[in-house]
Chains A and B, each alone.
Chain A
Amino acid sequence: MNDAVRALQEAMEQHDYIAEASIATALYLSREMRKPLLVEGDAGVGKTEIAKVLARLLDTELIRLQCYQGLDVNTAVYEWNYQRQILHLNIAEQSGKTGSDLEAEIFSREYLLERPLLRAITRPDGPPVLLVDEIDRADDGFEAFLLELLSDFQVTIPELGTIHATHRPYVVLTSNRSREIGDALRRRCLYLFIEHPSLDKEIRIIRKRVPGVSERLAGEIAAYVHGLRGRKLVKAPGVAETLDWAQALERLHTEQLSAETVEATLGCLIKDQEDLSAVLGSVER
């Protein structure tokens, strides 16, 4: 293994992220090649966490853009502060300034509200980590816009002109694959698909994040969750669910798993009614 990749993997671990080699390699390449990293995988496998840990590693700000259907430029990039502009005009009415002076005043950076994407490319001190979360929820139109931003790193505001990036942010995009990401955007990024962690990785994750859980209980928890993932469930539990469950068991001062404790706390792990009844049925048996 490349020393730099191993160093990154270890550094991530120090920041509480137990990374598989594939994850560390992808993140390393993304950092070195300065290309956005598109992360896909089932819910709860730690996609968003990658951006967070990267920001902590680089000791920089994490700027997050949560995507949703109907997300538009006004919420993602910039918006004029209309209220302030009107206020300013009202006050200026008495001062007798010329029109062009006034215009220059109200259409200046001072009256511009920076939204995450603009802030990411204009942050004064060093490149931040830009997390574009759940890009699959945004419309295709927004995806096309993002593509442009990620290739040129500049934003054009009609009243103000083009704003160039002061530096290239580190970009992480996540997708739950509720819709196929356009090929053009995919090509612009490096691609990482995260699978559920291996058994011993998951044990280490539990031990790291929920230190109150004993080695033995962590093993039992991980083994049980792995068993569940092997079954045909509508929604297989992710690492996030495992950690929820481990925390619940810690609170309950559980020493080892029993049918009763599993039954009582299964809600942490399984969030689908049909899955729940299927699993409960087999627990009783």
Chain B
Amino acid sequence: MKGDLVARLTVFARALRGRGVRVTLADVADGAGALVLVDLFDREEVRFALRTALKIRPADWDTFDLLFSDFLSLAAGVPSPQERRPSAPAGAAGPAVPIPLGQTGPAPAGAGHSPMGDQPGYSRDMLLRRKPFDQCTAADLAAMERLLARLSLRLATRPSRRLVPTRGRGFLDLRRSFRRAVATRGDFVAFARRAPAIEIPRLVVLCDTSGSMDGHSRFLLTFILSLKRVARRTEAFVFNTALTRITPWLAPGKPGLSLERLSVRVPDWSGGTRIGESLAEFVARHQHHVLDRRTVVVILSDGLDRGDPAVLVDAMRVIRARARRVIWLNPLLGDPRYQPLARGMQAALPFVDHLAPAHNLESLERLLALVAA
């Protein structure tokens, strides 16, 4: 009986993994250990115990609960209508929308997610449109990366509280001083010191890939890749009608590969825009993990939003409050006649520290000056 339970737990874990919830073998072992300890006839207790032992984050609770009923009916040995449904997720997603790998929780772009087919400009079925990406010229890329290396270093102006050994001034480091004194038979010739470290910043990039951004998105994704190369802890998201975390698919060394992966995996590429909802989703699902006072948030979008500005305002306020700095890069600003009058842009403006153009290398160059100021 107990072996049975473990087998079922393994099936359950596999189903969770299929839905993008990270569950390891060690977690399954913990889960088995927990099941021994609790009252198996108390559904809630088993649910709490497994949630605790498998380390399920609140963002994944819905997925967990859904699959948990399957697990229970299996574990109790009572055949239920649900049992015939494959608990492996292959069929669960439907034919059109595969759940992207590495994404936690149910796919935000799930079928029937929201009534987004009613307004013009939205793609009705969120089909994965394959967009051919041309290769950037090698010279472009190289120039950009040099530039971005400088940008990233300038962003890193904030010293950390952590103390690291230094040759210059700083706090007395007794331990290292003693160690050095050994070489001079116990005489302190020079004291060792420690000073606050300068840390590479954390960047969160949110990139608009809707139709109106089409001409720029390839360029901007290269930008993200270069950022990722310099500041490895860069988190990247793209949004159009929904938000997708793309950090796991970025291979900084190989821009071609990354772009190819993205065009295949990001749903509704060059579809409509719902900036407000997308940022709200970012706030609801991701900001806790990726935003802190060291983080610089870079939003790449033209601000042409079709949604409710109030949603955007709410999201921007939270982001502004939690991040160190918010930079909005708008490709349209490259046109001297352009005024940031689009509704979405207007709504977001009060919460943006820097609004800057991003349509070519030169504009990024100017951004450098802006950030360094």
Chain A interfacial positions (CB closer than 8 Å to B) = 1-2, 4-5, 21-22, 25-26, 28-30, 32-33, 35, 38, 40, 68-70, 72, 74, 80, 82, 89, 139, 141, 177-180, 183, 186-187, 189-193, 195, 232, 234, 274
Give B41-62 as 1s and 0s: 1 = Cβ < 8 Å from A's Cβ atoms.
0101100110111111110000
B48 and A26 contacting across the interface, CB-CB below 8 Å: yes
Residue B26, interface by CB 8 Å:
yes
B160 and A29 contacting across the interface, CB-CB below 8 Å: no
A26 and B162 contacting across the interface, CB-CB below 8 Å: no
A179 and B318 contacting across the interface, CB-CB below 8 Å: no
B51 and A179 contacting across the interface, CB-CB below 8 Å: no
Which B residues are CB-close (under 8 A) to A4?
37
A21 and B160 contacting across the interface, CB-CB below 8 Å: no
A25 and B52 contacting across the interface, CB-CB below 8 Å: yes
CA distance A264 to B38 in the complex (A): 47
Which A residues are CB-close (under 8 A) to B58?
40, 193, 195
Residue B281, interface by CB 8 Å:
no
**A178 interface neighbour in B42, B288, B318, Cβ under 8 Å:** B288
List the B residue with the shortest CB-CB distance to A274.
Answer: B317
Given contacts A25-B48, A29-B38, 8 further A-B contacts (CB under 8 A): A4-B37, A22-B51, A29-B53, A33-B30, A68-B161, A82-B178, A191-B53, A234-B317
B52 and A187 contacting across the interface, CB-CB below 8 Å: no
**B56 interface neighbour in A82, A191, A232, A234, Cβ under 8 Å:** A191
CA distance A139 to B294 in the complex (A): 12
B34 and A22 contacting across the interface, CB-CB below 8 Å: no
Residue B27, interface by CB 8 Å:
yes
**B52 interface neighbour in A2, A29, A180, Cβ under 8 Å:** A29
**A187 interface neighbour in B26, B37, B162, B318, Cβ under 8 Å:** B26
Residue B24, interface by CB 8 Å:
yes
B330 nearest CB across to chain A (Å): 26
Residue B116, interface by CB 8 Å:
no
In the complex with contacts A33-B34, A186-B55, A70-B48 CB distance below 8 A: no
B57 and A193 contacting across the interface, CB-CB below 8 Å: yes
A177 and B289 contacting across the interface, CB-CB below 8 Å: yes
B247 nearest CB across to chain A (Å): 11
List the B residue with the shortest CB-CB distance to A272.
Answer: B321
A29 and B321 contacting across the interface, CB-CB below 8 Å: no
Residue B314, interface by CB 8 Å:
yes
A201 nearest CB across to chain B (Å): 15
A189 and B289 contacting across the interface, CB-CB below 8 Å: no
Residue B187, interface by CB 8 Å:
no
B37 and A28 contacting across the interface, CB-CB below 8 Å: yes
B42 and A2 contacting across the interface, CB-CB below 8 Å: yes
A192 and B44 contacting across the interface, CB-CB below 8 Å: no
CA distance A278 to B45 in the complex (A): 39
**B38 interface neighbour in A5, A80, A177, A190, Cβ under 8 Å:** A5
A-B contact count (CB 8 A): 101
A33 and B48 contacting across the interface, CB-CB below 8 Å: no
B280 nearest CB across to chain A (Å): 10
B24 and A187 contacting across the interface, CB-CB below 8 Å: yes
Which B residues are CB-close (under 8 A) to A80?
174-175
A69 and B161 contacting across the interface, CB-CB below 8 Å: yes
A79 nearest CB across to chain B (Å): 8
A33 and B22 contacting across the interface, CB-CB below 8 Å: no
CA distance A30 to B48 in the complex (A): 12
A2 and B39 contacting across the interface, CB-CB below 8 Å: yes
A25 and B314 contacting across the interface, CB-CB below 8 Å: no
A100 nearest CB across to chain B (Å): 14
**A29 interface neighbour in B34, B57, B163, B314, Cβ under 8 Å:** B34
**A139 interface neighbour in B34, B51, B162, Cβ under 8 Å:** B162
B57 and A21 contacting across the interface, CB-CB below 8 Å: no
Residue B362, interface by CB 8 Å:
no
CA distance A186 to B48 in the complex (A): 17
List the B residue with the shortest CB-CB distance to A73.
Answer: B175
Q: List 24 A-B contacts (CB under 8 A).
A: A2-B42, A5-B38, A21-B48, A22-B48, A22-B51, A25-B48, A26-B49, A29-B49, A29-B52, A29-B53, A30-B52, A33-B30, A35-B30, A72-B163, A177-B288, A178-B288, A178-B292, A179-B289, A189-B55, A191-B52, A191-B53, A232-B314, A234-B317, A234-B321
Residue B290, interface by CB 8 Å:
yes
Which A residues are CB-close (under 8 A) to B39?
1-2, 5
A2 and B37 contacting across the interface, CB-CB below 8 Å: yes
Which A residues are CB-close (under 8 A) to B44?
1, 21
Which A residues are CB-close (under 8 A) to B162?
69-70, 72, 139, 141
Which B residues are CB-close (under 8 A) to A74?
175
Residue B33, interface by CB 8 Å:
yes
A26 nearest CB across to chain B (Å): 4
**B30 interface neighbour in A40, A68, A190, A274, Cβ under 8 Å:** A190
CA distance A68 to B160 in the complex (A): 11
Q: Which residues of chain B (297-317) have a CB below 8 Å from chain A?
A: 314, 317
B22 and A1 contacting across the interface, CB-CB below 8 Å: no
CA distance A219 to B290 in the complex (A): 37
Which B residues are CB-close (under 8 A) to A21?
44-45, 48
B33 and A25 contacting across the interface, CB-CB below 8 Å: no
